[in-house]
């Protein structure tokens, strides 16, 4: 048999999805698993959004839409970007995709040529690296300092800029660290992009989940930054709509056309019924209330989790200001006596011995850490962290 694709053979599978699958498998076998692996809200999609889908299915007329999405949805996205982010886009600059992940993938395919360098901040969201490789770009990493909330400074980024730098990925609020960049920090990073002429992909999918700080879109800071930024966002996290698969990009018309063109051959339009529900999600006042309720609940759980973690000896964590993840430094337990040399072994032993699923930090580029998601009930948070406390008590630091 002839050789399969060399490019895709080098792509690693998503470790986060693999661990969530393993936890589900053990649960199905009757094991009492507490999972901190979820990358999605544990709430149902708000009722008004669900009802639009039900009505739409019964009404009929659910054929293909334009590949780049329904015009009323693109208009609703443009109105949202103006209201929430101070950004002016026409609907021809918006492309609705099958989730933010798809919007990111299409953007990378549109912007990159083979060998172009893409700077990402380490810790990074697990898919950025692989998506860049799939688009024949070269990932370049800037190591962020945990003492600076895991945020990279403009100076640190500048050290990695070369003539081949084509794009910088900013993810604020951040998965996996919960870091939220301030306006001033983004301005300094934006100045670099202007000075060295590179694009910015700003992944703002966790925009609505911020706790006591403000989200700023880097595209809103100047006309120059608006022109060179591709804003990515979607409905998954803010509206508890992960499975509906609606995300979008907002960019220059030139880039939007390329994204739409790629999508027209790849997948055609995103699910028509989900697009109608997305209009309701973006336009209804009820959504504002639902989002606020979820945000307040996530913040409460974050506080509980941080409190319990801070009582555990030899463990430290980076305090998150957004999203629903906490990075916990467990490297004090990496030694031969414990039979643990890295985050994968820590996570694996924790799952075997205490039935708690966490994501090893190595999936995000930082092996001293594990990632906990607090998109799970207070009961699970207390139970799971109690088990982690038991687990580390039995280890030698």
Residue ranges in contact with ligand PLP by CB under 6 A = 39, 99-101, 125, 171, 175, 203, 205, 234, 236, 242, 247
Token reading at 244: 């509906």
Strand 34-35 to strand 229-234: parallel, antiparallel, or no bridges (unpaired)? unpaired
Report in angstroms how near the CB of residue 165 gets to ligand PLP at its nearest: 21
How far are the Cα atoms of 27, 83, 233, 293, 310 from residue 320, in angstroms, in the given order? Answer: 29, 26, 20, 19, 13
For the stretch 101-104, contacts whose Cβ atoms lie closer than 8 Å and that sit 24 or more positions apart, written own/partner, are 101/127, 101/131, 101/247, 102/245, 102/247, 102/263, 102/267, 102/270, 103/232, 103/234, 103/247, 103/248, 103/249, 103/259, 104/128, 104/131, 104/201, 104/203, 104/232
Give me the least distance between CB of 139 and ligand PLP, in Å please: 15
- Size (the chain), residues: 397
Of the two residues 175 and 368, which places its CB atom closer to ligand PLP in the complex? 175
Least distance from C-beta 92 to ligand PLP, angstroms?
22
Which tokens sit at 374?
């607090």
Q: Which is nearer to ligand PLP, 89 or 206 (CB)?
A: 206
SS3 state of residue 95 = strand
Tell me which residue has its CB nearest to ligand PLP: 99
Residue 98 or 368: which CB sits closer to ligand PLP? 98
The nearest distance, CB 368 to ligand PLP, in angstroms, is 21
Distance of closest approach, residue 103 Cβ to ligand PLP, in angstroms: 8
Q: Which is nearer to ligand PLP, 237 or 317 (CB)?
A: 237
Name the residue nearer to ligand PLP (CB basis): 102 or 355.
102
| Cα gap 68→76, rounded to integer Å | 14
> At its nearest, how many Å lie between ligand PLP and the CB of residue 54?
22
128 vs 346, which CB is nearer to ligand PLP? 128
């Amino acid at each position: 048999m002839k050789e399969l694709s060399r490019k895709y053979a080098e792509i690693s599978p998503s470790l986060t999805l693999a661990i969530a699958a393993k936890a589900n498998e053990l649960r199905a076998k009757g094991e009492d698993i507490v999972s901190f692996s979820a990358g999605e809200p544990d709430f149902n999609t708000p009722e008004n959004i669900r009802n639009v889908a039900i009505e739409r299915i019964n009404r009929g007329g659910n054929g293909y839409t334009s590949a780049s999405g329904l015009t009323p949805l693109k208009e609703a996205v443009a109105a949202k970007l103006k209201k929430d982010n101070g950004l002016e886009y026409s609907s021809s600059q918006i492309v609705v995709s099958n989730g933010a992940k798809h919007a990111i993938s299409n953007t990378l395919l549109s912007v990159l040529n083979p060998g172009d360098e893409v700077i990402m901040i380490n810790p990074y969201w697990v898919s950025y690296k692989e998506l860049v490789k799939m688009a024949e770009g070269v990932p370049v990493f800037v190591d962020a300092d945990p003492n600076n909330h895991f945020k990279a400074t403009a100076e640190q980024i500048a050290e990695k800029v070369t003539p081949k730098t084509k794009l910088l990925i900013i993810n604020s609020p951040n998965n996996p660290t919960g870091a939220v960049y301030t306006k001033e920090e983004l301005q300094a990073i934006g100045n670099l992009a202007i000075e060295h002429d590179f694009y910015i992909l700003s992944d703002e999918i966790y925009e609505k989940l911020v706790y006591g700080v403000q989200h700023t879109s880097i595209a809103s800071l100047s006309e120059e930054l608006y022109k060179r930024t591709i804003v990515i966002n979607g409905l998954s996290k803010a509206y508890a709509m992960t499975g509906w698969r609606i995300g979008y990009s907002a960019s220059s018309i030139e880039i939007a056309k390329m994204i739409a063109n790629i999508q027209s051959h790849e997948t055609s339009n995103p699910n028509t019924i989900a697009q109608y529900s997305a209009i309701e999600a973006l336009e209804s006042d009820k959504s504002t209330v639902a989002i606020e309720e979820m945000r307040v609940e996530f913040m409460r759980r974050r506080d509980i989790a941080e409190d319990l973690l801070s009582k555990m000896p030899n463990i430290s964590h980076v305090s998150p200001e957004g999203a629903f993840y906490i990075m916990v430094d467990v490297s004090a337990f990496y030694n031969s006596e414990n039979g643990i040399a890295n985050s994968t072994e820590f996570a694996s032993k924790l799952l075997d011995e205490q039935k708690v699923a966490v994501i090893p930090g190595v999936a995000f580029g930082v092996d001293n850490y594990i990632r906990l998601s607090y998109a799970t009930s207070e009961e699970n948070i207390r139970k799971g962290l109690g088990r982690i406390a038991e687990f580390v008590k039995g280890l030698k630091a």
